[in-house]
Amino acid sequence: MNLLAIFGEALRALRQNRLRTGLTMLGMIIGVAAVVLMLSIGQGARTKINETIAAMGSNLFIVVPGATSSGGFSFGSGSVRTLTINDAYTIAELPSIKTTAPVVTGTAQLSYAAKNWSTIVTGTTANYFDVSNWKMEAGTTFTESDVRSAARVVVLGSVTAKNLLGDEDPIGKTIRITNRPFLVVGVLMAKGQSLTGRDQDDTVVIPITTSERQITGNQFPGSIRYMLVQGTSATEMDIAEIEIIQLLRQRHRIAKGKENDFTVRNLTAVADVATDAAKVMSIVLGAIASVSLLVGGIGIMNIMLVSVTERTREIGIRMAIGANQRAILTQFLLEAMMICIMGGLIGLLLGIGGAWLVSQFADMLIVITLGMVALAFLFASAVGIFFGFYPARKAASLKPVDALRYE
């Protein structure tokens, strides 16, 4: 007996029992496809969050006016105006602080040619782009001297640029913000959604001085909506936080025992929370995937067990006409392997196809790694091959007469 002949025999057996072969493969297909799909969604979510965090800038604090509220921090508390531009400049002098970027915001009407667009105007200093790790798609940022002279220059977010100017090159064009002409000096790189789900690219950025004097106006001159603070090193963030708090309490003349009238948030800590959430999500999806794999595995096991047991008689006949144990075992092993490999490959294609569909229709990032593919494939194959092989081995170790008499 040679291996090739047995291989042919196995292939023939699979072809002759299309239904059985198909059903067995189905378990394999579903198990592998489900795992690949689940894991790729989980992995995609993690990657997405990591990208968002990386885009946020490093060693960042955000300081907002108002006392710490129990529900976390929000930018909505417009009535409290306790932080000033000068607070920001003074904090920047601290040894543990690299730089600060004070920010005022407001909504304004933009226009270019016949187009109108209402969006958020961010007024800030020139180092804002660096602190928030925001790269330029085209043109340049505005400069410190633009800030000092309250120049009418603007940097557009990518979505705003698209909406206002369409396919035109925005650099050097003049747009109007609440009817005042502004020169477009740059366009920001797309950043996507923030961790809170806001589209960060629909905005325009102008010098803080220009914003305060000419666009949003200010009931409380010098007050700001928030400031970004960048520490000098990741290891000194705790010291930096204490120094910021001390300095601000001193500047705001807050008596001992009184509450702060501002809140300092370490954005790295916020990012950690988001990362943890993503991790939990991947674990949940991974658990679902494991269950699918287990169910798929049990399906494979059942059909393999039933079909091989049913074939005990066939094994008896083959032994009666001269097959030795090895020939029979080789045939069943090959059959199980072929089913697992084919089913696994189909499952893989379906899983990848499903992941692609999800990424298209749900606008989610999907990441497929070799590891998850290997995991799904190997586990399902191991189950399929074991349960295809083990009952066959049992049958082949029977006396031929017992296998033949098997009902």
Question: Interface with another protein by CB under 8 A: which residues?
Answer: 1-2, 5-6, 8-9, 12, 16-17, 314, 316-327, 399-401, 404
Contacts for 255 with CB less than 8 Å, ≥ 6 apart: none
Nearest-angstrom CA–CA distance, 282 and 44: 9
Q: Do 332 and 308 meet the contact criterion of CB atoms below 8 Å apart? A: yes
Minimum distance between the CB of residue 337 and another protein, rounded to whole angstroms? Answer: 20
Round the CA-based radius of gyration of the chain to a whole number and report it. Answer: 33
What is the nearest approach in angstroms of another protein to the Cβ of residue 309? 15
In the complex, least distance from residue 9 CB atom to another protein, rounded to whole angstroms: 7
Q: How many CB atoms are located within 10 Å of the residue 212 CB?
A: 21
C-beta of 115 vs 326, nearer to another protein = 326
Closer to another protein by Cβ: residue 265 or 311 = 311
Quick one: which of 310, 384, 385, 370 has its CA closest to 29? 384
CB of 358 to another protein, least distance (A): 41
DSSP 8-class letter at 223: B
Coil, helix or strand for 261? coil
Count Cβ atoms below 10 Å from residue 168 Cβ, excluding itself.
11
CA distance 251 to 93: 14
Shortest reach from residue 398's CB to another protein, in Å: 11
Cβ partners under 8 Å of residue 269, min gap 6: none
User: CB-wise, 17 or 99, nearer to another protein?
Assistant: 17
Least separation in angstroms between residue 15's CB and another protein is: 9
